[in-house]
Structure 1
Amino acid sequence: MTGVTEDSDLATRPVGAAADPIDLLDRDPVDDDPDSPERVAWRRRTAIEMVVSGAIGLFTSFVLSIEAWRLALDPSATFSCDVSSVISCSTVALSPQAEVLGFPNAFLGIAFESVVIAISVAGIAGVRFPRWYMLGTQALYTVALVFAWWLFLQSYFVIKALCPWCLLITVTTTLVWAGLTRWNVRDGHLRLPGRAGPWARRFVATGTDWYVTAAVIVLFLAAILLKYGPTLLAA
């Protein structure tokens, strides 16, 4: 009688039989052990990247909070970033979009960034959170990403003025979200169906996702230059 051995989660094959090329495509292309030295080092690097981006975002949120407080005391106040009719923090801060929930949006930034920084610092220390916690954080920060890009589009198309601090928040939020998604995909918290799962882990493990993130940021900057160009610094 011919013995059998497990080949994958989907099927078994006779001992000594050649591996099915289709099965090989379904295999996880990266290490399966989340505690392997390579994976631990990778997770720590990702967490460091998130801490740096999150810290910049937190600092920016504090600056915007202070500006909102100054503007509440004196609606006619101007700021150092009021460079032109296009680059104007006060114009954006006085718009209804700056207080979507009835208070300055910067307060939300402080909350979002504090959560992700705490998780990232724990990740650097080697702490591993349960899947439900990481997915909850992913959902929370996806809301933050959508909100940041919505605010940018409002500034870009409706308010027609840009706040440099807000633009920085959009970039840092994008970077943190990319890092968190990278972490959740490779550690198996964020699972894609079928062959998309191994493909996504390979995509992340090889660092290819960084090209996508960089492309998004380049397009973001290009869109600003194409629409406003020389008027960015015009009075």
Structure 2
Amino acid sequence: MFKFFAQWFSKQDKRQKIAEISLLTGAGVGLLASFILSIETLVLAKTPNTVLGCDLNAVISCSSVAQHWSASLLGFPNAFIGLMALPVMVTIGVALLAGTKFPRWFMVAAQIGVSIGFIFALWMFYMSFVEIGMLCPWCLTLDVGMLLIFGGMTRYNILTGVITGKKVKKFVQNDYDIVLLMIIITLAVVMILAKFGDQLL
């Protein structure tokens, strides 16, 4: 088993494999979160006063976030967007791991789509953290998934020359992008703890 993975990694740049795994993992995690959020949205539509399993206290409440106007920005639940878009990301991740080489225009389009999704996830985090003042565990899970997707896609496109530039390529080759990703996650955790603190328990 370990020999198989060692041979598999040796066939390609390990940095590129990390990018592909990050993309696929993020897409899988995000799809799971979107699926659960979609079910919860349908439950709330049927019985608005239902207490969901992730309604733990005054701070951690999926239903409060789901009933805010920002949870249906396009007129339907945001989670449905994930159900439509994330299977595509899963497919791309699996294909890249299998050695598929997509045309440059396709990867550029994928990068644009992923970037828009990442910006949307950041906006949703802002709305939850600042405007609503409550946290949805599955929304946060989806945010982490989008961060992994964006990081993986960007890393892959830089390493394969879809995104050009000596500085950005050196940045990724030194694995500084992974450090940046860890900093973003750590910063988000610190912000949540600083604002809500003991209310989380």
Question: What TM-score comes out, normalization by structure 1 length?
Answer: 0.78
1:228 aligns with 2:201: no
| RMSD (Å), alpha carbons | 1.4
Q: Does the Cα contact within 8 Å between 1:86 and 1:162 map onto a contact in 2?
A: yes
Q: Which amino acid aligns with 2:180?
A: V
In the aligned structure 1, how far is the partner of 2:66 from the partner of 2:154?
30
Percent identity, aligned pairs only, is 39
Q: Does the Cα contact within 8 Å between 1:43 and 1:124 map onto a contact in 2?
A: no
1:98 aligns with 2:98: no
Partner of residue 217, structure 1: 185
1:176 aligns with 2:149: yes
In the aligned structure 1, how far is the partner of 2:155 from the partner of 2:18?
11
Partner of residue 87, structure 1: 60
Partner of residue 50, structure 2: 77
Q: Which amino acid aligns with 1:130?
A: P
Partner of residue 5, structure 2: none
Q: Does the Cα contact within 8 Å between 2:27 and 2:90 map onto a contact in 1?
A: yes
Q: Which amino acid aligns with 1:202?
A: K
In the aligned structure 2, how far is the partner of 1:111 from the partner of 1:201?
31
1:44 aligns with 2:17: yes
In the aligned structure 2, how far is the partner of 1:166 from the partner of 1:42?
29
Name the structure, 1 or 2, with higher relative contact order (CA <8 Å, separation 6+): 2
After the TM superposition, which residues 88-127 of structure 1 pair with which residues of structure 2 at under 5 Å, given as runs? 88-127=61-100
In the aligned structure 1, how far is the partner of 2:15 from the partner of 2:101?
13
Q: Count residues with an aligned counterpart.
A: 192
1:146 aligned residue (114, 119, 122)? 119
Instruction: List, as ranges, runs of 4+ consecutive aligned residues in structure 1 with deviation greater than 4 Å.
Output: none
**Unaligned segments of structure 2, at least 5 residues:** 1-9
Partner of 1:147: helix, strand, or coil? helix
In the aligned structure 2, how far is the partner of 1:95 from the partner of 1:231?
21
Partner of residue 54, structure 1: 27
Q: Does the Cα contact within 8 Å between 2:60 and 2:200 map onto a contact in 1?
A: yes
Partner of residue 104, structure 2: 131
Partner of 2:70: helix, strand, or coil? helix
Pick the structure with greater CA Rg: 1
203-212 or 120-129, larger mean C-alpha shift: 203-212
1:66 aligns with 2:39: yes
CA displacement at 1:110 relative to structure 2 = 1.7
1:185 aligned residue (145, 153, 158)? 158
